[in-house]
Structure 1
Amino acid sequence: MKLSDLSCGANGIVTEMSALPSATRKKLMVMGLLPNTEVTVIRVAPLGDPLQVRVRGVDIALRKQIAANIEVETR
């Protein structure tokens, strides 16, 4: 399942980020978004872009295009 497909309040475990460009993937990894890390969708903007996700206690805003390239496994 894609991170962009999760609904508000849903949790997931990041499984794969290989579809992202390497520069974007590295920036997200520095912010704590790593494989096998739990993420929670906090809210989605009214027009659907961006998404607010919580990773390791920190909230990050992600564009829907980026979130669509992050694979998660739901709990």
Structure 2
Amino acid sequence: MAGAVRLSGARPGDKGIIVEVRAAGLSGDHGVDVDELQRRLLEFGFVEGARVAVLHEGAIWRDPIAVRLDDMRIGLRRRDAADIWVLLDPR
């Protein structure tokens, strides 16, 4: 996972490939159980090897972020995006 960054740290225009989805925070961090959060992310399609691009970010505290995941557009809280590790394409 060398060189991978959390999706929450990516900026609009960044693109890459998901290398890991690991919901490792405490249950109170997300408001749901860690296993439940990981299941939700996987059901949305946040799986290893999927292409992802950051499209937009909210005006207040840069939250939430809009991402393109393969052919879908998804809004995602930045704290949930922190559980997704991405290998960014070089600019």
> TM-score, normalised on structure 2?
0.75
In structure 2, stretches of 5+ residues that fail to align are 25-33
Q: What's the counterpart of residue 57 of structure 2?
A: 44
Structure index of larger Rg = 2
- Aligned length, in residue pairs: 75
Structure 1: runs of 5 or more not aligned: none
For 2:29, the equivalent position in structure 1 comes to none
The 5-angstrom pairing of residues 9-24 of structure 1 reads: 9-20=13-24, 21-24=34-37
Secondary structure at 1:36's aligned position in 2? coil
Write the letter of the residue equivalent to 1:33: F
What percentage of aligned pairs have identical amino acids?
29
Q: Which residue identity is paired with 2:78?
A: K
For the residue of structure 2 that corresponds to 1:8, the secondary structure is coil
1:70 alignment counterpart: 84
RMSD: 1.2
Alignment match, 2:45: 32
Structure 2 residue 19 is the aligned partner of structure 1 residue 5: no
| Alignment CA distance shift 1:28-1:19 (3 Å) | closer
